[in-house]
């Protein structure tokens, strides 16, 4: 066997990563309303959390974890210069199962860090995912260990491998689900979301559909409705 015929082996090694997250509100003070909000593709936590100032206030803590995979969004002359913008992604199709396992474990760890063990019933946890973050939050709900009172899927759908009538049914039924879409969102059709709402309701999930006049973005008035 010559060198060209040698097989290539692929392996995995678990390593420790330093994850970054941002908070809005007094992280040291007791909070009865905790939001864990996952950004979309090519966003960063520091910018994304600014969308939630409209609902910030006493007793509410907003936490924005940042995806572990960062990349340059633009380059100067083929190089990543000082002006090159940086974004993050929760995963790609490459080694996707390991990526999913990693971010589910990451979000479970963040939940323990922020919420703690054995939280009282008076503390409510909402997990919100925007765009790519919807699949992230949905997988966390189904595969993670954290207790989440409400899940908001904003401008996105459940990932296709989640079987709402099968293995995922119990976890999906354990929370209140809210689907949100802008009426002019070019990346998500109204019929897609309605079909998902129907399948979730048929499977016994408590699901609500909200729409606002706008495109593929967050919306302040709709966030205020979710708090009220």
| Domain membership flag for residue 223 | yes
Element (H, E) at 128: strand 124-130
> Which pLDDT belongs to residue 177?
97
Is 89 within the bounds of a domain? yes
What is the reported pTM? 0.94
Domain ranges, residue 173: 21-75+83-227
Helix (H, G, I), strand (E, B) or coil at 124: strand
Residue 121's pLDDT is 84
pLDDT of the residue at 76 = 67
Domain count across the chain: 1
Residue 3 lies in a domain: no
Q: Which residues contact 160 (CB under 8 A, 6 or more apart)?
A: none
Q: Mean pLDDT by 10-residue block, N- to C-terminus, for the chain (228 residues)?
A: 81 94 92 97 97 95 97 77 88 96 97 88 95 98 96 97 94 96 96 95 95 97 92
Q: Is residue 185 part of a domain?
A: yes
Give the pLDDT of residue 1: 62
Is 15 domain-assigned? no
What one-character-per-residue DSSP string does 53-103 give?
GGG--TTEEEEEE--SEEEES--BTTB--TT--EEEES--STTHHHHHHHH
Structural domain contains residue 13 = no
Task: State the pLDDT at residue 120.
Answer: 83
Tokens describing residue 177: 């689900």
The reply to whether 11 falls in a domain is: no
- Using CA atoms, how far apart are residues 69 and 66, in angstroms rounded to an integer? 9
Structural domain contains residue 56 = yes
Question: Which residue is associated with the tokens 């993670």?
Answer: 144
CATH of the domain at 187: 3.40.50.1820
Residue 128's DSSP bridge partners are 37, 152
């Amino acid at each position: 066997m010559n060198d060209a015929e040698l097989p290539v082996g692929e392996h995995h090694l678990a390593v420790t990563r330093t994850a970054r997250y941002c908070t809005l509100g007094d992280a040291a003070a007791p909070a009865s309303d905790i939001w864990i909000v996952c950004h979309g593709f090519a966003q960063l936590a520091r910018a994304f959390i600014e969308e939630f100032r409209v609902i910030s206030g006493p007793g509410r803590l907003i936490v924005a974890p940042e995806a572990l995979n960062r990349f340059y969004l633009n380059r100067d002359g083929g190089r990543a210069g000082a002006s090159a913008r940086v974004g993050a992604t929760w995963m790609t199709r490459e080694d996707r199962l390991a990526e999913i396992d990693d971010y589910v474990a990451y979000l479970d760890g963040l939940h323990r860090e922020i919420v703690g063990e054995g939280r009282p019933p008076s503390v409510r946890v909402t997990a919100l995912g925007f765009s790519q973050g919807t699949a992230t939050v949905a997988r966390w709900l189904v595969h993670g260990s954290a207790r989440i009172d409400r899940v908001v899927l904003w401008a996105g759908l459940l990932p296709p491998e989640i079987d709402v009538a099968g293995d995922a049914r119990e976890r999906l039924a354990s929370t209140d689900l809210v689907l949100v879409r802008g009426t002019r969102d070019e990346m998500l059709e109204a019929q897609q979301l309605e079909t998902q709402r129907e399948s979730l309701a048929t499977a016994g999930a408590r699901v609500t559909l909200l729409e606002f006049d706008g495109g593929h973005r967050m919306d302040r008035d709709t966030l205020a409705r979710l708090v009220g």
